[in-house]
Chains A and B, each alone.
Chain A
């Protein structure tokens, strides 16, 4: 893969407002450093995450999606994070059928106080996506769509 290592992956991150989002906020307040590749979307609960949006992110040019939720047993709404887990596992299988590597989507349990874990996960994920290289789904689809412009004899 060309220039795989020098590209900066775009990551859309869906964080639960009760845990991972606070961890990210606290990491900022504590001036902890991690790569600036994540674009965070705050959700009330990871169980609220509609897979349509994970797919939309990947289809529109994201290189990876990170989902952050509360540790098992600590969901503010009691079972939302388990819903997220089941959705995530099923979605991974579907994405695999489209040829998307497993490592491009990741679910992590990060509590509000685990700022170090957040920093580690983001840093690690960015490295992992650099290994995988750019995804560029829109570019690939527009390459396929160029066949519509071909003059047909």
Chain B
């Protein structure tokens, strides 16, 4: 037990792979933000695949024996045929898969595309947006008739566990470096129960520095928007009428946004017992208002300009309804 760690160290270190799907790169940034801690982690593991930072190819992964990667950290939602193939490949090669960041856990910002039809999205992005100049009306060519073929876009943006079996979840947009370090060390030392979210199971209010200013009974006349109001840097956002998702969102971020005088937008997702994050937030905000007659209720609710975008900002893939179906061009 107390032998010299130098002689005890196994010849091969655990192998780690990192991959990105439909994401902004912020999660990769979060890994780099580990700074010197990255060196501590690199002492313990070998990184065998990390396209954003190191020169590995898909063929390198294909050559590895099945199950030879100890942990794969995958960020981003899955929305193209290529991403699906890559995560399936990594699933075969890995002992454990971690959904890394809000998009892999819940669909994230890209999942808001589920409120639109695929063809409508392609049309807007490639033909109609004001900054687009596409005189030949080129659209992604999945068949490769005129141009080299590109992977095709799925109808639905999915969270990682809606495509492959997923072992652990690290939430956040992006996950804060301190949590990433802790999570990787925990996974190497004593992996928790499968399906665990590697963040505390309690709402953000609990660690919020403004909790003392939050009354037990919140009664509001209307909601305000953060860019249209002078925000008191000490008082609870809800008391000031600014929608803050912290009441229905998992803690673990150390209230970073709050400390920057911005309300929580919900990137850590719901706590374990909630099965539809957006619905739960909707319920909370509807309860806070005081209006009783229909017209006044309508007026008060109109101060929430985009309820779906606000309440399901990061969680649309994992919501119960998942996708707009009727009314669109589907």
Contact = CB atoms under 8 A, between A and B. Distances in A.
A72 B323 contact: no
Interface stretch (A13-21, A33-41, A98-106, A119-127): A98-106
B325 A98 contact: yes
Nearest to A82: B292
Contact of A52 (B274, B292, B298, B328): B274
10 contacts: A50-B279, A54-B279, A55-B276, A55-B319, A72-B292, A85-B294, A98-B308, A100-B326, A101-B327, A135-B326
Interface string A128-150: 00000001010011001101101
Given A51-B283, A97-B307, 14 more contacts: A50-B280, A52-B276, A52-B283, A55-B320, A72-B292, A82-B291, A86-B297, A87-B286, A89-B297, A90-B304, A91-B282, A93-B301, A94-B311, A101-B327
A90 B326 CA distance: 19
A85 to B, nearest CB: 6
Contacts of B321: 55, 58-59, 95, 98, 100, 137
Interface of B: 81-82, 84-85, 115, 151-152, 154-156, 163, 274-276, 278-280, 282-283, 285-287, 289, 291-294, 297-298, 300-301, 304, 307-308, 311-312, 319-328
Contacts, number: 116
Contacts of A94: 278, 282, 307-308, 311-312
A93 B115 contact: no
A93 B307 CA distance: 7
A76 interface: no
B264 to A, nearest CB: 19
A141 B330 CA distance: 12
B142 to A, nearest CB: 9
Interface of A: 50-52, 54-56, 58-59, 72, 79, 82-83, 85-87, 89-91, 93-95, 97-101, 135, 137, 140-141, 144-145, 147-148, 150, 152
Contacts of B324: 97-99
Given A72-B292, A89-B301, A90-B304, A98 B323 contact: yes
Contacts of A148: 84, 154, 163
Contacts of B307: 90, 93-94, 97
* Residue with the greatest number of chain A CB neighbours at <10 A, chosen from B298, B301, B325: B325
Contact of A140 (B163, B304, B325): B325
B326 A99 contact: yes
A72 B287 contact: no
A78 to B, nearest CB: 11
Contacts of B292: 72, 79, 82, 85
Nearest first, the 8 A-B pairs at minimum CB distance are: A99-B326, A99-B327, A59-B320, A86-B286, A97-B308, A87-B286, A51-B279, A152-B81
Given A86-B289, A94-B308, A99-B327, A56 B320 contact: yes
Contacts of A89: 286, 297-298, 301
Nearest to B312: A94
